[in-house]
Amino acid sequence: MTDPVLPTFADIEAAARTLAPVAVRTRMLSSPALDERTGARVFLKPEVLQRTGSFKFRGAFNKLSSIPESQRAAGVVAFSSGNHAQGVAAAAQLLNMPAVIVMPSDAPVSKRERTKSYGAEVVLYDRDTEDREQIARAIAGQRGAVLVPPFDDPKVIAGQGTVGLEIAEGLMHLGVTSDLVAAPASGGGLMAGIALAIKHRFPQTGLLTAEPEGFDDHARSLNSGRRQPHHAEGRTICDALMASIPGELTFAINQRLVAGGVTASDAEVAEAVAFAFRELKLVVEPGGAVALAALLAGRMDARGKTVVIVLSGGNVDAELYARLIRQ
């Protein structure tokens, strides 16, 4: 069996050129209140301000742009709880390609409706009894469409890596070196791309995945040195971070470059969502706030250090958001 082809820093640079005309270059933010509370110098990468409200647009557009013109009429198929769904749908709309998105029936209504608003066809499934990838592969086979994985794909990882490239360039512009960079992890594509970019520019920077408590497959896998599933039952408010095991490609990168993983409880995530509302004036979805939650909860060794926290998405139902910020 041949080794998988992993993306490189050069692939991330190429993705940045592809994305330059369409993606938002989200500028890092800082907050005196956050610095005071954590005892660290904290920079925030607000991908909540990205096109479609999350970093997922980056990987989706980079992947779809790589599809030859002769194959685009058949369209693309993706499976996602929401953010990848919207990213693929928006990218397909920009490139005049049809898109079918397989989404769980319990995905936030706002994510389902936003996905449809970009012109995509949405197919719902039961995440407890049905296999989303199997459904998506069947549809792609019937239509001759290209399957766009949410994380385990070199083009997708390279696109997400532009988040890390922008972080590195922003730090260099400020003349600052980061001690830690932390980002939410589900399948691990965001952290894999960030790790490739950050380690290329700042080899000594420590990298941490952040996950909901119990849904800690990355922390388990990084600790053991091999891919391990989490053993969580039920749900978390971090609906975007419920993948059961790290991707093969993503873990091949993260195992080599990422120091470890941290977690945050749903209550800590709720506090981080409320903190972002009160102090940062940003709408952050629970899954997008888990790295911030881990920082606020003291789950990472940040005091006296320069830390970058990725706020990966801001797509949250209004009812849930109102409840979280009231708490």
CA distance 240 to 40: 27
Whether residue 238 has pLDDT greater than 80? yes
Percentage with pLDDT > 90 across the chain: 89
Average pLDDT in the 117-124 region? 95
189 pLDDT tier (thresholds 50, 70, 90): very high
CB distance 283 to 48 below 8 Å: yes
Strands 29-30 and 146-147: unpaired
Average pLDDT in the 62-79 region? 96
- At residue 234, the pLDDT reads 80
Whether residue 1 has pLDDT greater than 80? no
CA distance 134 to 121: 17
Residue 205 CA to its chain's centroid (Å)? 20
The chain-wide mean pLDDT, for the chain, equals 95
Helical segments of the chain, H only: 9-19, 32-38, 56-65, 83-94, 109-117, 132-143, 154-174, 189-201, 217-224, 248-257, 266-275, 290-296, 318-326
- pTM score: 0.95
- At residue 109, the pLDDT reads 82
Q: Which CATH architecture has domain 9-54+153-326?
A: 3-Layer(aba) Sandwich (3.40)
Q: What 8-state DSSP symbol labels residue 6?
A: P
Q: Which residue has the tokens 């936003």?
A: 114
CA distance 4 to 297: 37
The span from the first CA to the last CA of the chain, in angstroms, equals 52
Q: Which among 210, 98, 87 has a CA at the least distance from the CA of 149?
A: 87
Angle between helices 9-19 and 56-65 in degrees, nearest 10: 90
The hierarchical CATH code for the domain 57-147 is 3.40.50.1100
DSSP-assigned beta bridge partners for residue 99: 76
CB distance 182 to 310 below 8 Å: yes
CA distance 260 to 222: 6
Virtual torsion, Cα 312, 159, 27, 209, nearest 10 deg: 40
Q: Which among 186, 187, 198, 171 has a CA at the least distance from the CA of 259?
A: 198
The domain locations on the chain are 9-54+153-326, 57-147
Whether residue 149 has pLDDT greater than 50? yes
3 pLDDT tier (thresholds 50, 70, 90): low
CA distance 64 to 258: 28
CA distance 314 to 301: 26
Domains 9-54+153-326 and 57-147 share a fold: yes
Percentage with pLDDT > 70 across the chain: 99
Assign residue 7 a region: left if phi > 0, alpha if psi is -120 to 50, beta otherwise?
A: beta
83-119 burial, b if ≥16 CB within 10 A, otherwise e? Answer: bbbbbbbbbbebbebbbbbbbbeebbebbbebbbebe
Q: Which among 241, 150, 243, 159 has a CA at the least distance from the CA of 196?
A: 159
Q: Which residue has the tokens 């706030």?
A: 289
